[in-house]
Every structure is written in structure tokens, then in C-alpha cells.
Amino acid sequence: MNIRKKFPIFKKKAFINSCSKGALSDEVRQAYDDYLTDWQELGSPWDLWVNKLEELRGAFATLIHAHPNEIAVTTSVSASVNAIASSIDFSGERNEVVVDDFAFPTTAQIWHAQKGRGATVMHVPEVENSIPLSFYEKAITERTKIVSLTHVCYRHGVMQDVAEIIKIAKQKGALVMVDSYQSLGTMPLNIKEIGADFLVGGTLKYLLGSSGLGLLYTKQELIKQLNPSSSGWFAQADIFAMDIYANTPSPTARRFETGTPPNPNLYAALAGIELIQSIGLEKIDAQRREITGMIKEGVMQRGFHLVSPISPDKHGPMVSVRSNNVELLVQLLEEDQVIVSSRDGNLRISPHIYNNADDIDRLMDGLSKHKDLLI
């Protein structure tokens, strides 16, 4: 399969920015057309749309080796984290939330918003783009209620050994949530082997869907213990009961959902995940390692400052390079038809299965052309 031909953007541009937004495939565009056709021809096919929702739930579960009953389909990672946070009791002595400094801002902000409910937020600092395990050993204590853990940092691509950190947390009796947004869809991920209590992610990046949908995994044993204060008719045990006199949460992870899902995005998400599944996460992971290796080699050969680790086991699908004027560099590369992005003075280069050596050659030509912004 020549997956690249399915993404029209490559006819003109070297798109290497999947950490921000996945490229649009013909299949995802067609999926939106399919939604409009169904809406136009069928009117209000709610059974069809609910079936699409359940199909996506199953697809999410397959991606991370979970059971569909452990998956909530949300509208964003923010919605997922808010659902978790609202269901946790912070009134006792075990009221601390440990947040790593790799966290995406919205995730940390949601935990800070729980201070009014009794939570105390503790941060695990990073040192030179790394967070040693010893920092977690110090931060996680018998007072820790939950650890909010980033798999791959959105700023520089550094990947943490989440399984080892989770072991530390479990020794202290703490819950753990993993944010997989910058890794999901690029490598095999078995939630049962990792051992997390919760996992969040979304469809708009490496899952090749669109914005407006997220996932929330909750370990089966925890579901009935947790009652989020945010709710809606899709969170109910029977979504068609239409009971205005009670809140009867689903016995499954669906209790973390709220109102009507964004139906057009269900079509797009399924189309994107089907592409991922047709290739296989093992093959995507191997390609991730190969093509990020090309980027790192090209950067180091030219004497530029590689921020990401050299080892592919220590970074995700993103490689970052230090710049002295990164916003200008991103703009100039875009003028050269090379699409990348930036955070914290780093040029973010994030390939996916559709990228090839030609894209990396065009990138390296652009970096060499603008090397005064890199040295």
C-alpha cells in the first residue's frame, strides 16, 4: 500500500507536523461526505449514529488492548481529564495530585482547578529536558491521590518510561492517568501491560482523524467507584430513557461521557483509525524510528542543536531542534513548502507513516538555507 498517495498535501508540500495536526487523507474527506449524505438522505438516523459511536469505542479499545466497556468517547482530552477530576474525592488526607512538568497546559490547569475541591497540586520538575525516576520517587507519597503522567512531551518529544513510573505510584497506593496524545497511533500501546488506571488521547494528531473527539480509558475495577459530576444523556445507563427525575450513570466507562457526540467527527475518526489499523502499529513504529533517525543524523551532521534524545527509545514521533528565532524559521520553512511547528524555542519536526526520505531532504535543504537561525 502506498499510503502517501492518500494524502493530497504531499503533491505540493513536505508536511512534517503531525504533532499539531495529522494530514488530511482522501478517506477522511470522504467520511465527511458520507456523513452529509446520510444526513441528507436519511434525515435523522440516530440508530446509525449511535452505532458509529459504538464502533469507534471498539476501535479505541483495540488500539490500546482494552475492553470497549472501559472506553468513554469524549470530545477532547480536556473533557476526558475533567471527567476524571470531577469524579475524584479530594476531601481526605490523600488529596495530592502529582503533575509532571512535561504536561500539556490544559491538563495541568484542570488539576489546578481542583484546588477549590480540596486538591493540592505538586509538580515534578524537569532538568535538561528529562525527569529522572528519582524525582517521581520523591514526589509520590502516601498523600498522593493521582499521578498525571505525560507519555511524550509536546514541547520536545521526550518519551517517559511510564510503566516504571506507574510501578513507583502503585507502591504508594496512588492512581495514575497517562496522557498519550503525542504517542497514540505511532507505536504499540498495551494499557494492561503499562498498568495505568486511566489513559487519555485524541484523534486529531497521529490517529489521522479530526478535532472534536477524545478517548478516556478507565480500568474496569474502578468504574463503578467513580461518579463524575459532569454528565449527560449519553452517560446514562439507558440513553433513551429520557428520565428527568434521576441521574443513572452507565455501569461502563460511558458514565464519563456527556451529551450528543459530534456525529460528523465519528465518521472521520473511524476513517483515520482504519488507516492506522490497515498498516499496523508495529510497522508504523519501525518507520517512526527510521525516519526520525534520518532527521537526527541530518541535524547532527550540520552541527545544529538536537534537543531530543538520540536514542529512539527515549523520544516519540517528534524530534526537536533548538533555534534562535524559531517563529521566523517556521515561517521561512513554510514559504519553502515545508510544514513544521514550534514550542519553547524548539523547532518541532513530527513525521508519520506518510513521510519519506524526500520530505526529510527538503527539510534539511531548508534548515541549511536558514542555518543562521539554528546556530
pLDDT tens per residue, range 307-335:
999 999 999 999 999 999 999 999 999 99
The pLDDT score that the predictor gives to residue 45 is 97
Please tell me whether residues 65 and 106 are part of one structural domain: yes
The number of folded domains in the chain is 2
Are residues 211 and 359 located together in one domain of the fold?
no
Share of the chain above pLDDT 70, in %: 100
Say if residue 19 is in the same domain as residue 97: no
Both 85 and 19 in one domain: the answer is no
Query: What is the predicted pLDDT for the residue at 71?
Result: 98
Q: What is the pLDDT of residue 341?
A: 98
Residue with grid cell 427525575, as numbered in its chain: 245
pTM: 0.96
Considering only CA atoms, which of 249, 33, 54, 70 is closest in space to residue 46? 54
Q: Indicate if 264 and 299 belong to the same structural domain.
A: no
Which is it for strands 346-349 and 319-322: parallel, antiparallel or unpaired? antiparallel
Domain boundary among 239, 256, 276: 276
- Dump pLDDT digits (tens) for 171-189: 999 999 999 999 999 999 9
Residue 63: pLDDT above 90? yes
Q: Average pLDDT, stretch 228-235?
A: 93
Cα angle 244, 257, 165 (rounded to 5 degrees) comes to 145
61 & 201 share domain: yes
Residues of the domain holding 309? 3-23+280-373
Greatest Cα pair distance, the chain, in angstroms, is: 68
Clarify whether residues 234 and 349 are in a common domain: no
Which of 217, 247, 276 corresponds to the end of one domain? 276
Q: For residue 124, what is the domain's CATH number?
A: 3.40.640.10
Q: Is the pLDDT of residue 16 over 90?
A: yes
Question: CB–CB of 52/263 below 8 Å?
Answer: yes
341 within 8 A of 330, measured Cβ to Cβ = yes
Taking 3-state DSSP, the helix, strand and coil percentages for the chain, each rounded to the nearest 5, stand at: 45, 15, 40
- Is-contact 357 294, C-beta < 8 A? yes
Place of cell 479505541: 60
Residues 9 and 70 both lie in one domain: no
206: its cell numbers? 497521529
Q: Are 267 and 293 in the same domain?
A: no
Based on the fold, state whether residues 53 and 15 are members of the same structural domain: no
Same domain, 188 and 309: no
Residue 366: name the closest of 349, 345, 350, 346 by CA: 349
The pLDDT assigned to 375 comes to 79
CA distance linking residue 284 with residue 189, whole number of Å: 12
The pLDDT tens digits of the residues spanning 125-174 come to 999 999 999 999 999 999 999 999 999 999 999 999 999 999 999 999 99
- What pLDDT shows up at residue 2? 86
CA distance 183 to 195: 17
Asked whether residue 241 falls in the same domain as residue 346, the answer is no
Q: Is the pLDDT of residue 1 over 80?
A: no
Q: Write the CATH number for 351.
A: 3.90.1150.10
